[in-house]
Structure formats: C-alpha cells, structure tokens
Amino acid sequence: MKRIFGLLFLLVSLGPILGCSGSGAVSPLTPTKATQQDASTSAEEDSSVVYWTSFPVTFSMTDPLNAVCLVNKKTGWACGNNGLVLKWDGETWSKVDTGLAKNENLMAVAFADENEGWITGTHGVILHYNNGSWNLDASPTQEILYSAVVTPSRGVWTVGSNGTLLIYNGISWGKVTPVAPGGAPATVTDDIYGISLYGQNNGWACGNRGLILSFDGQKWQTYSASPSTERLNSVSVISEVQAWIVGAYGTILRYNGTSWSKMGSAFSGFDLYNIRMKSDDDGWTVGQDGTLTYYDGSRWISHQKPDGKPSLNAIAFYKDVGFIVGQNGTILKFEPNGEMAKFSFLFKGAVGKPPSKENPFWSFSYTIMNQSPKTSPLVTLDVPLPKGLEPYLPKPTATSTPGGTPAPGAAAPTPTASPTSVAPVATASPQAVKPGSSASPVPQSLSMGTFKMKDNNMEWEIGNIASSEMKTITVLLEDKKGEKKEYPVILKGVLKSTDKVIAEAAPVTLISSEPKLGPRAALFPATPVATASGIPAQPTAVPTNGNDSEQGGAPSAQPTPTPGH
C-alpha cells in the first residue's frame, strides 16, 4: 500500500483573476538520495517572530487536510482524506457534507469565484461546486489528481499520477498529451504533482524524477534541462520570468526567465511539499515534520515549527489572510505583524563596588541565561545610561590603570589605543547549565567584543544564545563632567532579538540619593552602595585604603542565577 504524503495546494498568481487554485497530498515514488549540492545553502536560525499560530475549531478532526484555497477574506475552502471538506466564512472553519466521495482522499481545490469551484482526488474523482450545490463531474481517468488550477477564462487544468493532464472546457473534461521540444508527442509516465499559471498563457508543472513541463497558452511541453532528479512536489509562478519549485530532500529550484537552476537547500533532511510565492521577495514553503520557512528576497528563514511537528501540506493567501493545513487536521493562521516567540531568560543585574582611588568607576554586571528550549538569534544588550553618567574609558596607555587592582568579580579595564575605541570588560561566565541541574560550575571565558553608543544607550551585539547558555557582561561607568545626576540613579537593561524586546531585567538602583559630603569629600565623595538584590545600603564614606568592605561598604556583588527574570 502506498504511503500518502502531504503536498501543498497552489494559489495561482494570476493578477486580475479572482479565486484560487491548488494542489494537495502526494503519493511519491522512493526518491533518489539527495546530492551534496542540495544541502549547500544554509538557513538563518529560527526567526524570533511567530507569523503562524494554531487556529482552533469547534469539531473533532483527525484526518489530514491536503489542500486549501481562499477566494477572498470571507470565503475559503479546504479538503482532506475520507471526503473531508471545510469552508471558511471569514471567522471560522466548519465542516461541509457534500454527500459525495466520502471514501476518497481529496487532494486539490480550485475556485474561480464564490460561486464555482472544483475539488479533485483519488480514483480520478472531480467534485464540482456551482451556486451552492456539489455534483460529481464525469472524469476521463481513474488516476490520482494531485493539483488543479483555474485560468482567467475559467478553464480548469488538473494533473495527476502516471503523467495525467486534464482540461475542463466549461462543459466536459478531456485528456491532453504534452509534446517534446520540437513538437512531437511526448510520452510522460511520471506522476505530475504541481501546476501553477501566470495569466492565460504562461505556466509550469512539475513531478517525479525531476519532471518539469512548460505551458505557452496552447500546449504543454517537456523541459529537457531539469537540474534535478528528485521528486518535485510544488511550483509557484510569479511572472513570465520568475517561478519556484520545491521537492524531496529540501530541493529548491528557481526559474530566471531563461532556465531552471538548483538553489541548494538548508532543509535537505526534510521534504518540501508546497511553495507559495506572493512576490519575488515574499514567499513561504511548507513540508515534512512541521518544516515552515520564509523567503525575504535574499535568504530562507526557518520559522518556529508548530507543536507536535505535524507535516504541513498546503498554504493559501488572500492579501493578508493566510492559512496552512496539514497532518491530523492541523490549521495554522497567518498573523500579518507576527508575535514574539516565547523566550525565557534569566536576566538580572547586580552592582559591584563604588568608585575608589584605585578604580575610579562604578562596576555593574548583567547575567544572561537562555532558559528556553531554542536558540535566541541575534541578541543585543541595551543599557540606557542615566543622566550624569557615561562609559568609563581607560586612559590611553600601554599598561592598565595605575594601582590596577580590579574590583572583586570584575576584570581590569582593557587598555585601548584611543578613548573612542572602547572595549567592554569581559568576566568569567557562571556555569552554563540548566536551572536545577546538579552539574558542577564550569566557568567559561567570555569575550563580548566592543560596545557602541546609540541614542545614549550602551549596546552590545552578543549574537546567538543557545538553549541553557549563560553569559555575563560587566559595565563600567563614571561621572559625566558638567552633567548633574538625577536621583535615584537606576539602570534598566533590555535584551533584544532582531530589534524586538525579548527580556527586561528588573530595575536596579546604582545610587539611591545624592551623597552627603563628609570631611574627606575633596578626595572621595561618599557614595551609597547597592547590593546584588538592588536594595541600596546606607551611604558611607569611601576609605582611602581601598578596603571598602572593612568600612561598611557592600562587598562585590556576584549575580546568583535564579529563574524568574
């Protein structure tokens, strides 16, 4: 018994035409092993923005959904195994009992408008919807019909197993034989899985063992220079000079107006079942085990997979409304502006020692630990500077600060050649283990690179933070000449991923109130000292011997990893 895989429905790029077209699940032959070239292109890390979320329904559904289309924002159709048909009314999906083909697997759906459409499937079944009624069209084949498309003139094409190619002329269905280059009839026996048109006179179809067919408005012709021998599942035509194909082992092909070429793929371990390109820099492909990726014009970006990683078989758009359907009745809805992925961070700050003769700066550290099960990409740390403070810049010298005994818990300032070339202080990272683990601490050397100033923020480009990875950054601040502080002096660190906030540290007080001047203030002003918990101690005069803790100052505060912030 053949194993049925999901393939996506195709929404036609037809410019002025209304309606939708699509292809569904595939029953593939065993593909050959993917070549190394198929896996040559790497993808970005999982996007931190979620654009597809689970859409709930009020009825039980376990059969796979194989195809979906949207006629407009308030009308859509989906179909699946065992005669399953759903309708979208702009607010919810509901089951429709057509009374037909209940034992057939329905693979493709194509609608010209709200009043007329077709669904095709196994054993050559063709369901015809006309003004509210469903009927069975007489079919000239018993083959599986995987994909269907409606033309601007309301003709219909459907393709299927063993090279099946059918056309509906408004009255009846008939078989069509493709031609080879030169015009002679071509013998096509490979399954055809996907079809897509642009306008009336331009289109492509694709199938097993690298099969590609072109359409010029009059005839279908075999394309002899296919760059792939894999199973090609889905095609999306953007214009006369742009089209895309996806298939087994992550195969991605692109047409440039002259020829098809293999683009490589970062998803060689997963079959891609369908592709839907809305434009040349906006498209999606879906596939095996929840594979879902976005094309932004230059690269493919992995989207977070839905819970359970069901195979995703079909995708449809009407403007900013979109749906994906798949295994076990999965329905995902497109969120035009997206929402942040659920990241979980231990992110807290702690104040070290106040300025002293040896170290004339405030020391402040942030501990960052990714407690979510996924990597957080392109992370930056932003620390807005309170009024009256600026980054401490070591004096340009070949040696460290005179008397250079660093504050406990902080490395000495890194010497720099110029005051404008600032290197942040790197400390040893606390253990990079999961919360609650009994593993022994394993300090890691941390080098964070340079920070930059942006809108009075100190900004570190940290990069990707893997699950359970921990990092520590120490910030050094000094008084800004000519600018009076505003009390209390509070630091508020923010973590961002791809410019979106993913975590905020609890505000920590650096200085609670304006220090009172004592008899030795000419040398060292008294300074309140904040503890690791952010609760300031009472102001005390800073001693001259550098041993602050003996005089009642707070000891160096090392952050203690505790979940919650």
Statement to judge: residues 354 and 369 lie in one domain: yes
| CATH code of residue 80 | 2.130.10.10
- Which of 340, 362, 388 represents a domain boundary (last residue)? 340
Report if residue 270 sits inside a domain: yes
Report if residue 313 sits inside a domain: yes
Statement to judge: residues 357 and 475 lie in one domain: yes
Report if residue 559 sits inside a domain: no
Statement to judge: residues 276 and 395 lie in one domain: no
Statement to judge: residues 328 and 427 lie in one domain: no
Q: How many domains does the chain have?
A: 2
Domain extent at residue 499: 345-551
Strands of 412-511, DSSP E:
425-426, 428-429, 444-445, 451-454, 457-465, 470-479, 489-491, 494-497, 500-504, 508-511
By three-state DSSP, how is residue 294 classified?
strand
Write down the pTM of the prediction.
Answer: 0.63
Report if residue 565 sits inside a domain: no
| Helix (H), strand (E) at residue 222 | strand 220-222
Statement to judge: residues 104 and 86 lie in one domain: yes
Statement to judge: residues 252 and 380 lie in one domain: no
Statement to judge: residues 130 and 261 lie in one domain: yes
Statement to judge: residues 332 and 432 lie in one domain: no
**pLDDT given for residue 454 in this prediction:** 86
Copy the structure tokens of residue 548: 């602050």
Statement to judge: residues 299 and 393 lie in one domain: no
Report if residue 561 sits inside a domain: no
- Which of 306, 340, 374 represents a domain boundary (last residue)? 340
Report if residue 33 sits inside a domain: no
Statement to judge: residues 401 and 317 lie in one domain: no
**pLDDT given for residue 355 in this prediction:** 86
Report if residue 172 sits inside a domain: yes
Nearest to 558 by CA among 386, 408, 422, 431: 408
Statement to judge: residues 271 and 396 lie in one domain: no
Statement to judge: residues 336 and 350 lie in one domain: no
Contact criterion met (CB below 8 Å) for 103 and 83:
yes
Report if residue 11 sits inside a domain: no
Nearest to 8 by CA among 214, 353, 244: 244
**pLDDT given for residue 360 in this prediction:** 86
- Which of 313, 340, 367 represents a domain boundary (last residue)? 340
Give mean pLDDT in consecutive 10-residue pieces for the chain, a chain of 565 residues.
Answer: 32 41 48 30 56 93 97 97 98 96 97 97 98 97 98 93 97 96 94 96 96 96 96 97 96 96 83 95 95 90 90 96 97 87 82 84 89 80 92 66 42 37 38 37 40 88 88 89 90 85 86 69 40 37 35 34 35
| CATH code of residue 469 | 2.60.40.690
